[in-house]
Amino acid sequence: MLTNNEENGLGDKPREKCGVFGVFGVPNAAQLAYFGLHTLQHRGQEGAGIAVSDGEGLHCTKGKGLVLEVFNQSDIDALKGSNSIGHIRYSTCGGDEWENIQPIVARANRGSLAVAHNGQIVNAQPLRDELENMGHLFHTSSDSAIILHLIQGGAGNLMEKLQSACARLEGAFAFLILTPKSLYAIRDRHGLRPLAIATLENGWCAASETCAFDAVGAKFLRNVEPGEILKFSRTGMESRFYTQQTEHRLCAMEYVYFAREDSSIDGKNVHLARRRTGELLARTDCKTLKADLVVGVPDSSLPAAMGYSEASGIPYGMGLIKNRYVGRTFIEPTQEQRDLAVRMKLSANSSVVQGKRIVLIDDSIVRGTTSRRIIRLLREAGASQVHLRVASPPILYPCFYGVDISSRKELISAGMDPQALCRYLGADSLRFLSVEQLREAYGEAGYCFSCFTGDYLTPLYGHRAD
Ligand code: SF4
């Protein structure tokens, strides 16, 4: 079966771990969670789940597949309650077994909890070893369950337990935690993964991306701050920090590729940030590159292509067309079938590219296989030259913060210099955005660039970056 990215025709794009969505104090909590998750579907397609609380207990439905496949209307109707959290999953850590689909629900005499997590706990293994040595039993291989076990061993009220549990976690986490009477939204001390809150007519909403607020009619209020724990209950919203050692370092790949264009993360609109990267690519090229047409790889590279076109004066054209209706069950074990998968998903528009010198804009290169096929498609459609411009720096190091870039071996830029890579891809020229330009495009707020620089934000606890 095609993985999600292969299904997208973009088999070598990095994949986000997950998306989370929650509401508190509304009459139709499960229905809103369903709509919210549907809007966040681009962040994970392997599984989905919704947990609701009715003020007394927790009820959860989850399964493998897309939101549309996991839930029907009777499932949603059966989830009665005014508070809910939802999760859509792509597994970067732990397998894709049913037990790892979230929310994970822990039922205990002292109260039930459901947890939905976006990110990756980098010190999961040592914490798990420690907890297992103390007698804790894990029912899932997911790193997300660790917080439940840390809470279980903690002292004080739930807010205090959460503060001490989060202080022990290193890495990336945006958690939504549901109890029968409250909802918690938590962001790691670097703010690696996005999490924002909004108001509803009679309640609250929290989501990985602001586009989900628009889908349910919620009004954006603010971002959850790095290191912050927000509690929503019948008495309102309460904010605490689990650490004072905070530093804003949002994952740069959220703007490069993951997030939806109509989302704003930490105050910056994704479409505009991508567009700016294209402008900066054009600025470097302006005196040296002669071309007839700018073409973007749909969909996430189109804003950068528009920005390049505008800044360079070279016309923008729809040289690649995406077929949105390719199914998910396409078998593609061989090279020929992978090529066919790209052809089914992307077509070069020969009437547009014939005889043209093309500037092809892609947002990122991981393994290089898809870029190579796309360049071949454009040449077969009659393009006379293809100059590839990448709207992010070369990805040289693995990610341990919730993105499936797990080893240097799979990263083509780590094994080839740009000249060799240009030849391998079959491009006439190749240039990447630099880390400095990415910083310029995204503005002052701090970002994680670890997969570009190898400069990690945390100790790696035995994970290998080489
Ligand atoms: S290493 Fe790269 S993909 Fe991972 S969080 Fe940092 S910027 Fe994002």
HSE, side-chain direction, 13 A CA sphere, residue 329: 1
pLDDT digits 0-9 by tens, 4-61: 343 344 456 766 669 999 999 999 999 999 999 999 999 988 899 999 998 889 999 9
- Whether the pLDDT of residue 432 is over 90: the answer is yes
Parallel, antiparallel, or unpaired: how do β-strands 203-207 and 196-200 relate? antiparallel
Ligand 1: distance of its center to the CA of 404 in Å? 10
Is 18 an annotated catalytic residue? yes
Amino acid at 451: C
> If you measure from the C-alpha of residue 148 to the centroid of ligand 1, how many angstroms do you get, rounded to a whole number?
25
Q: Which of helix, strand or coil describes residue 189?
A: coil
SS3 content of the chain, % helix, strand, coil (to 5): 35, 25, 40
> Given the CA of residue 193, which atom of ligand 1 is nearest to it?
5
At the top level of CATH, which class does the domain 270-443 belong to? alpha beta
Domain parsing of the chain, residue ranges: 4-248, 270-443
| Range 255-272 average pLDDT | 94
Residue type, 349: N
* Rounded Cα distance, 318 and 320, in Å: 6
Phi, psi angle pair for 64, to nearest 5°: -80, 145
Q: Which atom of ligand 1 is nearest to the CA of 172?
A: 5
The class (CATH top level) of 4-248 is: alpha beta
pLDDT in tens, 201-250: 989 999 999 999 999 999 999 999 999 999 999 999 999 999 999 999 99
Per DSSP, 193 falls in state S
Cα 325 from Cα 215, distance rounded (Å): 22
The predicted pLDDT at position 53 comes to 96
Q: Which of 18, 205, 211, 399 is labelled catalytic?
A: 18
Find out whether 53 and 116 touch, Cβ atoms under 8 Å. Answer: no
Q: 3-state DSSP call for residue 256?
A: helix
Residue pair 84/204 in contact (Cβ under 8 Å)? The answer is no
- The reply to whether ligand 1 has any atom less than 6 angstroms from the CB of 122 is no
Whether ligand 1 lies within 6 angstroms of the CB of 450 is answered as: yes
Mean pLDDT of the chain: 91
Gap between the Cα atoms of 391 and 251, Å rounded:
15
Q: Is 401 in the pocket of ligand 1 (CB under 6 A)?
A: yes
**Which of 75-79, 87-91, 132-136, 438-442 is the least confident region?**
87-91
Residue with the nearest Cα to atom 5 of ligand 1? 251
* Residue 454 reports pLDDT greater than 70: yes
> DSSP letter string over 21-79?
EEEES-TTHHHHHHHHHHHTGGG--SEEEEEEE-SS-EEEEEEES-HHHH--HHHHHHS
Beta strand 250-251 with 447-448: parallel, antiparallel or unpaired?
parallel
Q: How many angstroms separate the CA atoms of 72 and 84, rounded?
A: 17
Residue 403 CB–ligand 1 contact under 6 Å: yes
Rounded to the nearest angstrom, the gap between the alpha carbon of residue 449 and the centroid of all alpha carbons in its chain is: 15
DSSP secondary structure code for residue 466 in this structure: -
266 φψ region: left (φ > 0), alpha (ψ -120 to 50), beta (else): left
State in Å: Cα 394 to ligand 1 middle.
12
Estimate to the nearest angstrom the gap between the alpha carbon of 238 and the chain centroid: 27
- SS3 letters for 357-424? EEEEEECCCCCCHHHHHHHHHHHHCCCCEEEEEECCCCCCCCCCCCECCCCHHHCHHHHCCHHHHHHH
pLDDT reading at 327 higher than 60: no
With a 6 A CB cut-off, is 395 part of the ligand 1 pocket?
no
> Are 113 and 132 within 8 A, CB to CB?
no
Question: How far is the centre of ligand 1, averaged over its atoms, from the C-alpha of 302 (Å)?
Answer: 22
pLDDT surpassing 60 at residue 361: yes
Q: How confident is the model at residue 135 (pLDDT cuts 50, 70, 90)?
A: confident
pLDDT bin (cut points 50, 70, 90) of residue 94 is low
Q: Which residue has the higher pLDDT, 279 or 323?
A: 279
Preceding amide of 54 cis, omega within 30: no
Ligand 1 test: best mutation among 251, 366, 449, most atoms within 8 Å of CB? 251
When pLDDT is cut at 50, 70 and 90, the band that residue 334 belongs to is: low
- Ligand 1 contacts CB of residue 451 (under 6 A): yes
Q: Can you list the positions of beta strands (E) in 112-227? A: 113-121, 171-178, 183-187, 196-200, 203-207, 219-223
338 has a pLDDT exceeding 90:
no
Q: Is the CB of 250 under 6 A from ligand 1?
A: no
Q: Which residues contact 408 (CB under 8 A, 6 or more apart)?
A: 396, 397, 398, 414, 415, 465, 466
pLDDT at 21: 98
Q: Which phi and psi angles does 22 have, rounded to 5°?
A: -150, 155
Q: Element (H or E) spanning 181, and its range? A: none
Which sign does the torsion angle of CA 263, 266, 267, 268 carry? Answer: negative
Higher-pLDDT residue of 104 and 8 is 104
Among protein residues, the one with the nearest Cα to ligand 1's atom 4 is 399
**Token digits of residue 162:** 């959460």
Rounded to two decimals, the pTM is 0.92
Q: What are phi and psi of 19, to 5 degrees?
A: -135, 150
**Structure tokens of 317?**
């054209």
pLDDT of 267 strictly over 70: yes
| Residue 174, amino acid | A
Give the separation between CA 322 and CA 383, rounded to whole angstroms: 18
